Amino acid sequence: MASSHGSIYSFKVDDASNTILSVREEKPAHYIMEIESFTEFKDSIEGEDEDYLESMEFIAAGHRWVLIIHPHGNTGIGEEDHISLYLKLISRPVDAIPTSTGRLSTLNARTRDDFTWTFDKFSKITDSKSSDDFDMEERTWELEIYPKGWGEGKRKSLTLFLNLLDCSDLTGGKKLYVDTTVRIINQLCEELMEDSISGWYTKECDGIAAIHLLSLSDLHNKDKGFKMDDQVIVEVEFKLVMLVDEF
């Protein structure tokens, strides 16, 4: 019998029949991504820069992977009129971690709701300030703004967080995927400054940010119109909210 380090197969020669037999040493790994509201999901990301959905990480055969689905085809390389599905390897071999068998199912997919909030006395905010709580897609949220930036955007850009306030039901493998567009409203003209906030919310309830939403030079330039009368107006548009359950 011959095998190599890290292989999930071993091989042996049957002398009687002079054939080579392969024996799988690990059970097969299965990972299923089920999208129940597929048409709604497909319509919600049509025309977007990121017109695909990436699954949560899973482990199989000692490696970490993700599934990437393009419901309109991978238009970046000319694929159209069909669904494109990719399996992406994202790490080297993982030692001492069992092979993953799981199921990812979409429990709901709701789209296109928005919320607008005005941050008054903007120049008086020393570090960060949060909006009032608001309900959207059957959950409670808040916007948290950092006028002087946060993280990589510190002293460079206006940073905005979208915080999920109650994650008590995100247990047992449940996670919430959110795709939004956030905007700083121009109070002089129709020009907008926008970015996306998208990603997974888990039981830790960590917020997700648009770190470089607007440069501080543009923010404080009166001719730009993003801050007027010491007010900054922020809008968040919910394009896709999906509760998923992995087990």
- Residues 28-48 have pLDDT tens digits of 667 777 776 677 777 777 777
Percent over 70 (pLDDT), the chain: 75
Ordered DSSP codes for 189-247 = SS-EEEEEEEEEE-TT---EEEEEEEEHHHHH-TTT-SSBTTBEEEEEEEEEEEEEEE-
**Closest by Cα among 167, 180, 160, 52 to 113:** 180
pLDDT at position 100 is 43
Give yes or no for residue 113 having a pLDDT over 70. yes
Residue 21: phi and psi, rounded to 5, are -105, 140
Spatial contact of 54 and 66, defined as CB atoms under 8 Å apart: yes
Q: What is the DSSP letter of 51?
A: -
pLDDT in tens, 52-90: 877 777 777 777 888 888 888 887 777 777 888 888 888
**Token pair of 226, please?**
């993003």
Apex 114 CA angle, 110 and 116, nearest 5: 160
Give yes or no for residue 91 having a pLDDT over 70. yes
pLDDT at position 18 is 57
Note the pTM of the prediction, 2 decimals: 0.65
pLDDT at position 12 is 53
